[in-house]
Amino acid sequence: MRQLSYSEAIREALRLEMRRDSNVFILGEDVGQFGGCFGVTGDLWKEFGEDRVRDTPISETAIIGTAVGAAVTGMRPVAEIMFCDFLTVCMDQLVNQAAKMRYMFGGKAVVPLTVRTPVGGGISAAAQHSQSLEAWFTHVPGLKVVMPSTAADAKGLLTAAIRDDNPVMFFEHKLLYPVKGDVPEGEYVIPLGQADVKREGSDVTVIATSIMVNRALEAAEALAAEGISLEVIDPRTLVPLDEETILASVEKTGRVVIAHEAVTRSGFGAEIAAIIAEKALDYLDAPIKRVGSKPAPIPFSGVLEQFVLPGSQDIIAAVKELV
Amino acid sequence: MEKEKLVDLYRQMVRVRQFETKVSELFAQGKIPGFVHLYIGEEATAVGACANLRPDDYITSTHRGHGHCLAKGGDMKLMMAELFGKKTGYCKGKGGSMHIADMDVGILGANGIVGGGLGIAPGAGLSAKLRGTDQVTACFFGDGASNQTTFHEGINIASIWRLPVIFICENNQYGISLHQSKHQRVADVADRAVAYGIPGVVVDGNDVMAVYEAVGEAVKRARAGEGPTLIEAKTYRWHGHFEGDPTVYRSEKELAEWKERCPILRFGKHLVEMGVATEQELDTIKAEVDNEVEEAVRFAEESPLPVPEEALEDIYA
């Protein structure tokens, strides 16, 4: 199959949806001629023009507010927030406006809005450009939360997100942008709410999101040499969450590690752990282990940053405590 | 302006006044739960502004939104039922006073966040522009909201993209308890238009014709693709920030002075003096509106409450 990078796959989804539906447009900082801070929107402005690939001022509140207003009046905006850390600047428009409009108005509004934003550390971008804040948004009824780990998933899930009639938070990982993978050509949609078993195994289930899926697959490879078999599950969407696939794997292995790059404390892993404890406790042969960032802001210097961020060795260590 | 339209402006202001007066009574009787923020005293602003709008134009409103909703063509019965928390209300009892919306007549919602609509209105403007229509969006907000992020970011983005938005600041002198002189250095919010390279206009918000004309100019500019305008309507709320507010921060004298400038009395007198209507005709309008309000209350009182489980519906499309 044809290979694309994660960012090329995202751009392809945007291009195809913009061709398919004239109501789809992009807005964000430096998304036009500049091509996006991480180059994701690239040359889209050449094909669609600056009306549909709109450069905005550095005004995150206006970006999301404008997107919300356009969405409730018939458009299908895709807003880019340059770093997920900057979502703090536009929280009201996301949490109090976009998420609740439909509900507050008795189901009479649709808010077909997609917000794309990169998460993650690993590039010495320090504390205000490296966070993974996805869990905040899973806490807000009315929002959907998507977090792809592969190029193909990014294409298929972004297509579904754009077509969805709800506000969807789409979290990309900045280290994944150059990573290539097989990506189906043409229209490709992955319904929101379907987990993917990235590797089948029998001893321990690793439920991982975003770049930690890659780390989990590295761990699985290393542990296979020692005769330990990991099953790696990527929920792909956190809201709605495919509990069935997760619980089926827990039933099979009886041992669980949950891995995400966000700070472990109150991360989405806590929610997954709680679901497993509530619904599959009887299948567990060992305590649930969580792997995530240490409870510190993401530091600048590489040695500090690597100490705070989780890696495959942390997954391996967690697995070894279980088997 | 023809006679029918003038008389209709009067009627619309009376509808807002009588609706709000009834809501105040019902709230005091405990029939309406939650918070209500009443528009009494400010009627000329919403009515004068919305008289320029078509049904397919948009408005964004505020926590003090009943007047905007009625003036833009909202259904009084559905509003009252919503205030009662009934299933038949605009939002099926899920929104209440601060979240009334009617997508069918372009009411993109009251808003519980001060300045919330200033973020959303440019988006409605952009939508009209991208869809190639000549719809405009009127964005109502208060003097208090003019210190929020959304004021700056929203007006700035609307100005750079020349969006068809009319920003209407209802300067009712107070951001909750804080007098304007204590919450901003400028005396006229409209002065801030300079910062965005757009026209800024101050208008007597208690003069319905003045508001009508000022907003009319701005609507004309917006429909012609000439971009947004910032209009500041100087007005005053007779009641507190919310019903039950003891209003310790203002004097009886100040209130009395503003009551002298009642937008409805003034315009009624004007209509009589101009020979457009007789006192008797105006009294008939009041009586008709009283009936309309009573009917809305009856509808609300007789309507069923929602079923508890409906709380879990309408979260996602």
Please give the domain boundaries of chain A with CATH numbers for all domains.
3-182 (3.40.50.970), 196-322 (3.40.50.920)
Task: Please state whether the predicted TM-score (pTM) of the whole model is above 0.95.
Answer: yes
Q: What is the ipTM of this complex?
A: 0.96
Chain A residue whose CA is closest to B85 = A106
Scanning chain B, the segments in alpha helix (DSSP H) are 3-28, 43-50, 66-71, 76-83, 116-131, 149-160, 180-183, 208-223, 252-260, 263-273, 279-302
Q: Examine residue A240 and say whether the peptide bond preceding it is cis (omega within 30 degrees of 0).
A: yes
Q: Report CB contact under 8 Å: A102, B124.
A: no
Question: What are the chain B neighbours of A107 within 8 Å (beta carbons)?
Answer: 92, 313-314
CATH number of the domain to which B108 belongs? 3.40.50.970
Q: What is the pLDDT of residue B193?
A: 98
Residue B308 lies in a domain: no
Q: What is the pLDDT of residue B115?
A: 97
Domain carrying residue B112:
3-301
Residue B145 lies in a domain: yes
Residue B214 lies in a domain: yes
Residues in chain A: 323
Intervals of chain B under pLDDT 50: none
Question: What are the chain A neighbours of B102 within 8 Å (beta carbons)?
Answer: 108
Which candidate in B79, B135, B149, B162 is best for mutational testing of the A interface (most A CBs within 10 A)? B149
Judged by DSSP in three states, A63 sits in: helix
Q: What is the pLDDT of residue B1?
A: 85
Residue B310 lies in a domain: no
Which residue is it, tokens 């009639």?
A165
Q: Tens of pLDDT along chain A (323 residues)?
A: 899 999 999 999 999 999 999 999 999 999 999 999 999 999 999 999 999 999 999 999 999 999 999 999 999 999 999 999 999 999 999 999 999 999 999 999 999 999 999 999 999 999 999 999 999 999 999 999 999 999 999 999 999 999 999 999 999 999 999 999 999 999 999 999 999 999 999 999 999 999 999 999 999 999 999 999 999 999 999 999 999 999 999 999 999 999 999 999 999 999 999 999 999 999 999 999 999 999 999 999 999 999 999 999 999 999 999 99
Domains: count for chain B: 1
Put simply, whether B172 touches A (Cβ < 8 Å) is no
Q: Are B306 and B93 in contact (CB under 8 A)?
A: yes
Residue B11 lies in a domain: yes
Q: What is the pLDDT of residue A265?
A: 98
Burial of B84 (0-12, 13-18, 19+ CB in 10 A): buried
Residue B76 lies in a domain: yes
Residue B311 lies in a domain: no
Q: Report CB contact under 8 Å: A69, B92.
A: no
Residue B315 lies in a domain: no
Judged by DSSP in three states, A292 sits in: strand
Put simply, whether A91 touches B (Cβ < 8 Å) is no
